[in-house]
Homo-oligomer: A and B are copies of this chain.
Amino acid sequence: MPEIKLAIDAMGGDNGPSIVIEALAQQLHECSSHHFFVVGQSDSLTPLLQQHGLHEHPQVTLINAEQVVHMDDKPGQALRSKPNSSMSVALELLSKGEADAVISGGNTGALMAKAYFQLKTLPGVLRPALMAALPNQQGGRSYLLDLGANASCDSETLFQFGVMGSVAAQVLENAPSPKVALLNMGEEEIKGNDVVKNAALRLTESEHVNYQGFVEGNHLFSGKADVIVCDGFVGNIALKSCEGLATLIVEQLKSALMSHWMYRWFFRFLQKRTQKSWERLKPDHYNGASLIGLRGVVIKSHGSANAKAFGSAIRQAIIEAQAQLPERIKDRVESVLLEQH
């Protein structure tokens, strides 16, 4: 596998640089062939790198960037007033070809705006999309996009998301012909609004997508489709609603289990014995949403990620960069555009 150069925005995320450097230290043990640009305020980062024995590590280069994009900065403001932020400098390394991928746990809106502005979309791609993997009942993963890069989409954009998602599932899951579906409020052709209906027509016509039709929300986790497409408004709300429900269930389960010593004891026992099957469902395991459709690999780590979860985002970046996902998407979009003419 080729050596990958990763640019890490070390200042992003709710937990700041400490978890980023901790994650890096963990990953360095596993990735002896890659190089890491750690981008951010050197005053904060140097002691952390020293603490983990990474200060003069041959695989690590510290790149100073004085500005920090905060979690509550408005995307437009961050774009205009913070050109020297760790986020912008990391993206610059990517756009100049000095890095192969960027990972950031920072402000999602700012990351999307800066990545769009600094990298631009691939030729023919209308809009980038935020995509994440979800565990499914078949024991595999399904990819959902868009998760919030676009508040509204026209049908051509949804169609392109189907194409891009299909390439991503092929590359990341070794699926020869991933099943692509549109998320809708019913499975019948007459259901939904004009945008999804027209997107369905476009997907049905294309030879480059194995289109399966509409799926409802309950199929996000069923494995009925490998790629599920919707606009960013719907995708964001669907995913966050699930987050909300998971929190409610965990809270309820905890309060039931913690009410008696015997439950607590049993729970720990059960947890150990069934760890493998649960591991698959843990959000840590799925951290690392991909901003696809751009001229480079950009991975968004969850703001609240711990070091283990941030490590998943780093691995996701390495996989996408090694597979040259942007180039693969570019090739497919080209074929699709040729098909139309």
Contacts and interface: CB of A to CB of B under 8 A. Distances in A.
Contact of A256 (B191, B222, B242, B278): B278
Contacts of A183: 237
25 contacts: A135-B248, A148-B185, A184-B233, A216-B236, A216-B237, A216-B240, A217-B238, A217-B239, A217-B242, A218-B243, A219-B244, A220-B244, A221-B247, A222-B247, A230-B237, A237-B238, A242-B244, A245-B245, A249-B281, A252-B278, A256-B277, A257-B270, A263-B270, A266-B266, A266-B270
A180 B153 CA distance: 27
Contacts of A259: 274
A185 B232 contact: yes
A152 interface: yes
A142 B243 CA distance: 17
A278 B148 CA distance: 33
Nearest to A224: B244
Given A148-B185, A185-B233, A234-B233, A244 B218 contact: yes
A32 interface: no
A57 interface: no
B234 A237 contact: yes
Assembly of this chain: how many copies?
2
A188 B74 CA distance: 9
A251 B151 contact: no
A340 interface: no
A104 interface: no
A204 to B, nearest CB: 20
Interface residues of A, number: 57
A248 B136 contact: yes
Contacts of A338: none
A152 to B, nearest CB: 5
B240 A193 contact: no
A197 to B, nearest CB: 10
B245 A220 contact: yes
A156 B168 CA distance: 40
